[in-house]
Structure 1
Amino acid sequence: MDGFLNLNKPAGLTSHDCVAKVRRLLKLKRVGHGGTLDPAATGVLPIALGRATRLLQFLPGGKAYRATVRFGVKTTTDDLEGEILTAVPSPTLTLDQVKQALPQFQGKIQQIPPSYSAIQVQGKRLYELARSGEAVEAPIRTVEVFQMDVLDWRAGDFPELEVAIACGAGTYIRAIARDLGDCLNSGGTLASLTRTASSGFLLTDSLTLDQLSEQIQQDTFCPILPELALEHLPIVNLSAPEGKRWCQGQRIRLERTGLFPAPACRVRHENGFFLGIGQLVEPEDIQSNAAEVEDSAPKNGLILSAQVVLVPEG
C-alpha cells in the first residue's frame, strides 16, 4: 500500500503515537508523518504509507492553524500543558490594542522556539534538555507568517483571542502566543491549537482514527495517490524507452520546450503512470560521463536525474 492519509489528529496523542496506531490498523511497517503536531494540538497530520514515506520531503510546506491565545498567563511550555509561571489578570486589555500589535507578527519574522520543542541543539532535543533542568538558549529562526485574521475576542480577567494563521514550515504558534503577550505587557500562552491545513491537506477532508478504523473494517479505505499529493510540482512525461532508462538510474536529456530547472518534478510514463520524482538541471550544473546521459535530445536541453523512483512492485 503506497500513498497518503490525511489524519485528523486527536488531542492527547503525539505524532509518533498516531503513526504507531496507523501502522497497527493497516498492518503496515512503513508509515511516517510530515509536520509534527504537539500532543495537545489537533488537526491535520499528513501520514505517508509504504513507499510514499520517501515522498514526504516533496510535499508543499504551507500550513494553516486556528489558535486561541490566553493573555495574562505565562507557562514553561508556552501552552497550557506547562507549569504556570505567572498569572496576572488583564481585564483592561482590549481587542484594539491586540490588533495594533498583530502586524509585528506577519511577514518574515525572527522567532525563538519554545524551550519545550523538538528542535535539536548539540545533538539533543530541546524538550529533553528542558526536562533535565539544563538551561539552553534556543537558536533564533527566521519564519514566515503569510496571513493572520482575528476570528473572535473574549474579554475578561484572562482575555482570549481566537485567530487564523497561515504560515510557512517551522513556525511555532506557541512562540507567537508568548511573544504577542510579551509585546502587550500582559503575558500570553497558547490555550488551544487546531491545524486546519498542512502540506496541501485540508482539515475538511481529513479522517479521524475511528473513521479510518471503520473504513478498514468495511474494506473501503483508499489512500491518497502519491501524485495527487504532489500536484504542485511540474510534470515531465517520458517515452517508454526513456522511462525505463530513468528508472534504472540513467540521466535523461530533454528538450527545453515548456520546461525549466526545478528542485523537483513529477515524472510520468507516456501512458500516464507515475514513475517518481526527478530533478531538472542545466547540463553545466552536473558532472557526468557522456555514457550516463541519454543523448537523443538537443545539447541545449535540460538534464533529468532521478531523486525518488516508484516503479511497480514485482
Structure 2
Amino acid sequence: MTNAPPTAPQQRARVPRRALDGVLLLDKPVGLSSNDALIRAKRLYQAKKAGHTGTLDPLASGLLPLCFGEATKFSQDLLDADKTYEATMRLGITTTTGDAEGDVLQTRDVLCSEHDIAAALERFRGEIVQIPPMYSALKRDGKPLYEYARAGQTVEREGRRVMIHALELIACARPDVTFRVTCSKGTYVRTLAEDIGEVLGCGAHLIALRRTGVGALTLEHAVTLDALSDAAQGELDCWLQPVDALLSTFPAVHLDDEATRRFLHGQRLRLADLSISDEISRATSSETSSETNGTVSSEAPRVRVYAATAGRLLGVARAGDGVLAPERLIVTAAPTS
C-alpha cells in the first residue's frame, strides 16, 4: 500500500473587507508611526479603504483622525487645518534633530526666569518665519531632507511663513517648560522650541509632544488602539464619527428631491432657486456673476450639501457666482438612474 502524497498546506482564509465610511478619532500612542497606527486600525475594522490626515512623529502622541471609505475624499481639509499641541521642551540642550531622538549638539547653562520665558513666547505669536529642520520629509532635488541629514550634509532651506494663532505657557519646572500652541499647517513645533531656546540664550529641544486638536476635532471623543483591540467587533463602529464630522465648519445647504437629483448628476444649481441660510447669503453677497466662463471661483465659500428628505450628506460644493457648484460627491449617495 502506497502512502498518499502530502496535501498542500491550506491557505489561510482571507478576512473579508468592509466598505466602511466614517472618521475615527484615534489617540495615537508614543513610539508608533502614523502609518502603523493606520494599518492596525484598518485591520481591526476590516476596512477596504482608509487613510490618515497628516502624520504625527513616533515621538508624538495624540489626535490622529483616520478616514474610512468616502471620508478619505475630505482628508485634505484636515491636512490644511490648524493644529493644537501641548509640548514640553528642555532648555539648555540642543540636539541634531531638535527633539529627544537626536544626538546632543551643545549644552548650556539655563539662567532665564519664568518671566523671561513668558516674554520669549510673546515674540513668537502671530506670523513668523521658520527654517524647516534638516530632519524632515521636505524634499530638495527630489530627495527628502532627512536623507541629506543622515549623510552628514546640510543644505540651504528657505524660510517659510507660518501662523502661530495662540501660544501660552502651561508649566515651568526648569529646565523643562510646557506650552500649548495652535498653529497653521506646515509649522514645526520642534523648530519653534529650538527658536525659543535661542532667544533665551540657552538652546532647547523638544522632549514631548501631544496633539490635542485638528481643526474643529479634539481629543475629547478619541479612542486608543488598546481600547479598540479590547472591544467586541460589534462595538467598534460606535467609535466612528460620520463623514461630515470633517466638514462641521462649513455652512449647510439642504436640497429638495429635484435639486438633489440634479446635484448628484454634477449639475450646477442657481442659488436664487434654493433656500440658503443668511450665513451663505452674506458669504456670497460680494460674489459677482461670471457667466462668461461658466466657472465658480476656487475662492468661493465651500458648503456641505444634504438631501432635505433623507438628511444624508451628498457632498461638498462651492457657493459663488450665483450658483451652487458640486465639488466632491459622496458615492453612496449617488443616483441610481
| TM-score class normalised by the smaller sequence | 0.7 to 0.9
* Aligned pairs (5 A) from 1:1-314: 1-59=20-78, 61-90=81-110, 92-155=111-174, 159-222=175-238, 223-255=240-272, 258=278, 259=280, 260-261=283-284, 262-271=300-309, 272-282=311-321, 302-312=322-332
Whether the 8 Å contact between 1:12 and 1:40 is mirrored in structure 2 is yes
Q: Deviations over 1:65-124 (max 9, x none)?
A: 11111111111110011111112232x221111112111111111111221112233323
Amino acid at match of 2:108: V
> What secondary structure is seen at the aligned counterpart in 2 of 1:105?
coil
Judging changes above 3 Å, is the alpha-carbon distance between structure 1 residues 219 and 101 closer, same or farther for their aligned structure 2 residues?
closer
> Matched residues in 1 for 2:158 and 2:206: separation?
21
Q: Percent identity?
A: 37
Structure number with greater Rg is: 2
2: distance between equivalents of 1:20 and 1:129?
28
* Deviation string, structure 1 residues 174-223 (Cα, Å, up to 9, x no partner): 01110011111111111111111113221222110111223353534331
Q: In 2, Cα distance between the equivalents of 1:58 and 1:210?
A: 28
In structure 1, the gaps of 5 or more residues are 283-301
Deviation larger for 172-181 or 208-217? 208-217
CA contact 1:26–1:216 (8 Å) conserved in 2:
no
Segment drifting more, 10-19 vs 256-265: 256-265
| In structure 2, C-alpha distance between the alignment counterparts of 1:263 and 1:87, rounded to whole Å | 50
Q: What's the RMSD between the two structures over aligned residues?
A: 1.9
Instruction: Number of aligned residue pairs: give it.
Output: 291
Question: Secondary structure of the equivalent of 2:41?
Answer: helix
Residues in 2 aligned to 1:16 and 1:213: alpha-carbon distance in whole angstroms: 17
Query: 1:138 Cα shift?
Result: 2.7
Give, in whole Å, the separation in 1 of the partners of 2:164 and 2:142: 28
Please report the TM-score for the alignment, with normalisation by the length of structure 1.
0.87
Whole-Å Cα distance in 2 between the matches of residues 17 and 136 of structure 1? 30
Instruction: Give unmatched runs, 5+ long, in structure 2.
Output: 1-19, 285-299
Structure 1: which amino acid aligns with 2:304?
Answer: R
TM-score (norm 2): 0.81
* Deviation, structure 1 residue 139: 2.6
